[in-house]
Structure 1
Amino acid sequence: MYAKIKLAFSLLSSGMYKEAYDSLSTVNAHVLPDSSKAEYYALMGRYYYDLGDFDNDRYHTPVYNILGSKYIDSALALLPPNTYRAGYYRGLKELKAGNSAGALTMLSRLLQNPALTQHQLAVTTSTLSDLYIRSGETDKAIQLLTIAVIADIQSSTKETSAAFNLASLLYKKGDVKNASLCINQAIADAVFYGARQRKVQVSTILPFIEAQKLNMVESQKRKLLFYAATVTALLLLIIGLAFIILQQVKKLKAAQKIITQAHIKEQEINRQLADTNAKLQDANKIKEKYIGYFFNFNAEFYDKVEKLKRSLEQKVADRKFEDIRSLIARINLRKEKEELISNFDHAFLKLFPNFVTVFNNMFREEDQQELKDGELLNTDLRIFALIRMGIQDSEKIAHILQYSVNTITTYKTRIKNKSIVPNEEFEKRVMEIKAV
C-alpha cells in the first residue's frame, strides 16, 4: 500500500493525474497506519488542489478545492499539531479557501522556524509568494520565489513550480534577462523530472520570453548599428577636422616663418639704422669740432697772411727789398706743418680721448704704441686717426702727412700684422672707437 502511495506521488508530480488517481483508488486507507494514512489523505488533497490549479476556471476549480480541503482536514486530524507538515497544510487549506490573512499568518510563522530544511523552505516560500501575487505585491513575491528557487537548487529538487512562477513575474516586470534564466531552469527541471503539467505551463510563457529576448537582441543590434554609424561619422568628422587643422597649422607655420623672417630683417634694418645713426652722430660731432677747429685755424692763418701782406706792401712801398728777402727767409714751413699736425692731434684727442688706449688694446703689450714726452700722437697713430676721421684713401693720407703712398701702405701693413685682431677686421675695429 505504501508503495502505491509513493507511486501516486510520482505520477501526480509528473502531471499524470488519471494514473495517479487510479493508483490512489486501489489503496485501502482503513488498513493503513496513522502516519501512512495521513500521507495518503494529504496526497489526495494535493491531487484535487493540483486539478483545480490545472483547470483554473470558475466552475471546476472551486469544487476541486473543496474536495481537496476535506482530505487535508482528514490528514490534519492524524498529524501531530506542532509539526511542520501540520502547519503547512493548515496554511495551504486557508490559501485555497481564500482566507489570505489566515494563510499569511500560518505560513509566515513557519518561516520563523530556523530548523526548516531547504526543501521545506522552498515549499513554504513558494506557497507564500502566491498570497503576495494575489495582493499585487510583486516585489515581495519575487523575493520569496527567489529564495524558493535557490533552496530548490541547493536541495536538488526538480519537481518545482518556483522557477516558472519567478520567470513569469520577472517577464511581466520587464526583466527579460533573468526571466530567461529562470524559464530555462524550469524547462530543465521539467524535462529531468518528466513533469508534463510543468512543460505545458512553461510553453505558455516561453515563446513570449524568447520573443522579447529576440526583440532585445534586434534592438541592441539596431543600437549597435546606430552607434557604429555615429562613431564612423564622428571618426570621419575628426579626420576631416584633423586635415583642416593640419592645413591651417601648415599655413600658420608658413605665416610664422614669414613673420619671423620679416622680424629678422626688421631687426637687421634697425641695427643698420642704429649703426648709421651712431655713425651720423659721430660724424656730426667730428664736423662740429673740426668746423670750429678749422675756422680758428683759418682765422689765425688769415691773420698771419694779412700781416705778411701788409708788411710786404710796406716794404715794397719803401723799396726795402733786402728786408723783403729777410722776411721771406723767416717763414718756416716745417714749423707751420708741425703746428698744423699738433693742432690736428689736439683736436682729434678732444673728440677721441680714449683713442690711444683702445688702439693699444688691439696689440700685445710689447707691440703697443709708446709716445714720447709731449707727444700726443705719433705717425702710426696719426695714420689711423685720419682713417677714424673717415679718410680711407691712402693717397689723401699721404698728401696730408707729406709721405709717399707706398710709405703709408707700408705703415698700415706693418701695424696690422702686429695686431692681435685679424687684418681684415682691424680698420673696422678702429672705426668702432667712440667719440665723446
Structure 2
Amino acid sequence: MAKKQKNDSLATEAAISLLKIYPKTGLIKELSQILNDTDISKLTNKQLSEFYINAAIAYAHIMDIYAVYHDVQKEYKTDWMYYYDKAIDVCSNDILLTKYLQTKYFFIVGDYYASADAARSILSKVPCSNELYGEAAQILARCYQARGKTLEQTYYQALAAISSVTRADRENMALNLLGNLICSDKRHMQRAHSYLASAIEFSPYRSNPAQTDILLNSINNINLGYRVKWNNNMLLFWSLMVFVLLSLVLLAALLARNKRNLDHIKKEKDLATRANSNKESFMKNFLEMCVLSTERMNDLCRFSLRKITAKQIDDLYQYIRSGRIMNEQRKEFLRLFDKSFFLAFPTFVDELNQLLRPEEQYTISADQMRLPPELRVYAMIRLGITNVSRMAKAMGYSTNTLYVYRGKVKAKAANKQTFESDFARICTP
C-alpha cells in the first residue's frame, strides 16, 4: 500500500519491520529480497539501526529454524555473522539486546560456556513473559544439550516452553522441543504426546517446512515409541516360541560346528602342504640361481683370464661394456622370479584382473608362468618391495619406465580412485 501511495519512507519502515516476521512464516526468499532491495545509503540513522538489528534477529531465527539441518544452516551462517557485527555496532546501548545477540553468536561458533553465561544474564534481568526470556532459556537448553547434560537441558527447555505458553506464542517450537526431549522416557510418553499434539494444533505456521518437519518427526517418534512397547509384548510371546526352536537349532549347530572344525583342519593341512611345497620350490629356485650365478662368474673369470693372457684388453672391455653378462643374468633372474611368484601367488593375475575393465584384463596360461613387465612391477610391490630405485636395478629398467608401467596398469582399472587400496588387499588370506 505504501508503494502504491509512493510513500517511500513508510514503505521502508514496513519492509524493516517485516524482516523479523518473514522468517517465522517461512518466507525466507522474501526476507532475502528485502535485504537485497534496501538501499542502506538512503536510510536514516534510526532506520539503519533497526535494519541491522532486525536483520540480525531474522537470521538468528533462521539459524534456529534450520538447527537440525546443518548443511542448510551453513548457507546462512555468513549472512548471520555479517548482520551480527553490524547489529552489535548499532545497539551497544541496549544491554539486553546486545546480550541476546552475543548469546546467539557464541552458540553458533561453538562457545557454549560463553553462550550460557550470556543467556543466564538475560534470565536474571527479564520476566518470564518477555520474549528474550524464552529465547535465552532455549539457548541454555541447547548449550547443555551440546555438553551432554540432559537434566539441565530438560530444565531450561521447560522454562522456554513455559515462557512460550505464558506469552501465548502459538508457534510453540519450545513446547514441541520439550515434548520431543521427554518422549525418550517411557514414563512420560503420554505427556510428551500431549505437548506435541498441542504444538501442532495451535501452530499457525505449518507452511514453514523446517518447523513442520520437526513437528511431524516428533509425532513419528511418539508413534514409534508405542509401536516399540507393543512389539516388546509380542517379543515376550515369540521368545517362548523361539526357545523351543533354539533347542533344535542348538543340536544342528553343534553338528555344523563339528563339520566346520573338520573342514578347517583339512584346509589348514592343505595350506601346510602347499607351504612346504612352496618352500621346496623357493629353495630349488634359489639354489638354481646361485649355481647359475657361480657358473657365469667362473665363465667370466676364465674368459677374462684368456683375454688378459692374450693381451686382448680391448676385446675384454668391449665384452664387459656390451652388458651381455648382466642381460643374461637378469633374464635368468626374472624367469626364476616369475616362476617362484606364480607358485607363491597362483591367483595373483586373476585377482588383479577383477580390478581391471573386462576388455583390459590379462590372459596368462598356467604353463607359461611369465609375467608381462608391468605386472612384474606390481608383483614386486605385492612382495613389499617399494624402493623404486632398487626395483629398477633388479629389472633393468629406468625409474621413469617403472612409473610408466604402473600408470599403464592403473589406467586399465575399473575404479582408478580406489585401485591402490583395492590392490593392497589381493592375495591376502
- Normalising by structure 1, report the TM-score: 0.46
In terms of Rg, which structure is larger? 1
- Normalising by structure 2, report the TM-score: 0.46
